[in-house]
Structure 1
Amino acid sequence: MGSIFAAMRRCQLFDGIPEEKYQNVLNCLHGEVRAIPKDTILLRIGDCQKRPGVVMSGTLRISLYSEDGNLLTIDRLSRGRVFGETLVCSMSQDSPIQIDALNDTEVLYLDFDPLLLQQENGCPYRMRVTANLLQEMGRGALFLNQKMRILAQNRLRNRIKVYLQGFPVASNGEIRLEMGRGEMADYLCVDRSALSRELGRMQKEGILTYQGQVIQILDSKFLTA
Structure 2
Amino acid sequence: MTAIKEEIEGSKLFLSMDNEQILRFLECSKPLIRSFSAKEIILEQGEPQKELLIFLEGSAELYKNDFDGNRSLVGILSPRDLYGQLAIFGNDNRSPFTVEAVEECRVMYIGKDLFYRPCSNVCPTHQRLIQNMLALLANQAALLDKKIEYLTTKSLRKKIARFLLEESAKNQDADLFEIPLNREALAEYFDVQRPSLSREMTRMKEERIIDFHRRTFRLLDREALRRYAN
User: What is the DSSP-based 3-state SS (H/G/I as helix, E as strand, rest coil) of the residue aligned with 1:61?
Assistant: strand
Structure 1 position 222 matched with structure 2 position 224? yes
Q: 2:96 aligns to what?
A: 96
Report the alpha carbon displacement of residue 194 of structure 1 after superposing the two structures with TM.
0.8
Structure 1 position 185 matched with structure 2 position 210? no
Distance 1:130 1:87 in 2: 16
Amino acid at match of 1:165: L
Distance 1:148 1:77 in 2: 18
Amino acid at match of 1:127: Q
Mapping of residues 135-146 of structure 1, within 5 Å = 135-146=135-146
For the 8 Å contact 2:24–2:121, the answer to whether it is kept is no
Distance 2:6 2:109 in 1: 16
For the 8 Å contact 1:62–1:100, the answer to whether it is kept is yes
Mapping of residues 31-46 of structure 1, within 5 Å = 31-46=31-46
Amino acid at match of 2:216: V
Tell me the TM-score normalized by structure 2: 0.88
User: Which ranges of structure 2 fall in alignment gaps of 5 or more residues?
Assistant: none
Compare 129-138 and 38-47 and name the one that shifted more.
38-47
Amino acid at match of 1:148: I
Distance 1:18 1:33 in 2: 22
Tell me the TM-score normalized by structure 1: 0.90
Distance 1:208 1:29 in 2: 46
Structure 1 position 72 matched with structure 2 position 84? no
Distance 2:94 2:54 in 1: 21
Q: 1:106 aligns to what?
A: 106
Residues paired across the two proteins, number: 224
Mapping of residues 1-225 of structure 1, within 5 Å = 1-66=1-66, 68-116=68-116, 118-123=117-122, 124-168=124-168, 173-225=175-227
Label 1:15 to 1:168 Cα distance change in 2 as closer, same or farther (>3 A): same
Distance 2:118 2:222 in 1: 53
- Deviation string for 1:95-150 (max 9, x for gaps)? 3210121222111110121322x344442211111111111112222222222222
User: Which ranges of structure 1 fall in alignment gaps of 5 or more residues?
Assistant: none
User: What is the DSSP-based 3-state SS (H/G/I as helix, E as strand, rest coil) of the residue aligned with 1:13?
Assistant: helix
Q: Percent identity?
A: 24
User: What is the DSSP-based 3-state SS (H/G/I as helix, E as strand, rest coil) of the residue aligned with 2:222?
Assistant: coil
Distance 2:45 2:218 in 1: 37
Compare 99-108 and 29-38 and name the one that shifted more.
29-38
Report the alpha carbon displacement of residue 172 of structure 1 after superposing the two structures with TM.
7.2
